[in-house]
Every structure is written in C-alpha cells, then in structure tokens.
Amino acid sequence: GAVVSQHPSWVICKSGTSVKIECRSLDFQATTMFWYRQFPKQSLMLMATSNEGSKATYEQGVEKDKFLINHASLTLSTLTVTSAHPEDSSFYICSARMGQGLYGYTFGSGTRLTVV
C-alpha cells in the first residue's frame, strides 16, 4: 500500500531558529501534498496545499513567510518553520494524494515540534 514517510518524528529547537520537516511518498508519486497542524487535544487544521512544481496554497490565517512549503518533486514536500517561536510548538502532519483520485490520501506519522 501507499506509504508516506515524515521526518523527523520529533525535534526540539531554540526560539528564533528554523526547522525543516520532510514528507516523502515512498512508493507512489504524489501530485498533491497537504500540511496540517494539530495542537494538543485538538483536531487537524489544514495549513496549506502544495502541488508539485507550483506555489503552495495557504489556508486563511496561515503565514506564508513563516511556513515555507516546497514541493520540488513528485515524492518530496518540505515544510520549513522559520524563526520558530514557542507558540509554533505543535504536531505537524503531512498527507499525500496519489493522482487526482478523491480517495487516495495517505498520512505521514507526524512531527512533534517543540520550540524552547
């Protein structure tokens, strides 16, 4: 079955630094990848949609300059949290979709970001 690998699974960084999270589709080409953020005991909030070779589409209220998304290939999307602050501490999850189908969404295992 389709597998999405997300790395790292957890990271601790100092306030003001940047952190990059990778999301890879291992056995399929993902035309579209989605990035979600989840605060403790809350649901997943969609942050942005990225399509290979084009700019990401951000949800309302998500800062484009703070959360940089790059989808340079059909198997890799990255989310960079720039100038991280403690309030950016959260669980970040990516999802990849195979082709244009409405059913093939596969999720990564998530990244726990703690900014100190």
Partner 1 sequence: SQQGEEDPQALSIQEGENATMNCSYKTSINNLQWYRQNSGRGLVHLILIRSNEREKHSGRLRVTLDTSKKSSSLLITASRAADTASYFCASILIQGAQKLVFGQGTRLTINP
- Per-residue contact flags (x/-) with partner 1 for residues 56 to 75, judged by CB under 8 A: -x-xx---------------
Least separation in angstroms between residue 66's CB and partner 1 is 19
Contact status: 7 vs partner 1 (CB under 8 A): no
Least separation in angstroms between residue 110's CB and partner 1 is 5
Convert the chain into a string of H (helix), E (strand) and C (coil): CCCEEEECCEEEECCCCCEEEEEEECCCCEEEEEEEEECCCCCEEEEEEEECCCCCEECCCCCCCCEEEEEEECCEEEEEECCCCHHHCEEEEEEEEECCCCCCEEECCCEEEEEC
Least separation in angstroms between residue 11's CB and partner 1 is 14
Contact status: 110 vs partner 1 (CB under 8 A): yes
Q: Do 97 and 33 touch, CB atoms closer than 8 A?
A: yes
Q: Do 31 and 52 touch, CB atoms closer than 8 A?
A: yes
- Per-residue contact flags (x/-) with partner 1 for residues 22 to 61, judged by CB under 8 A: ----------x-x-x----xxxxxx--x-------x-xx-
Residues near partner 1 (CB under 8 A) are 6, 32, 34, 36, 41-46, 49, 57, 59-60, 91, 93, 95, 97, 102-103, 105-110, 112
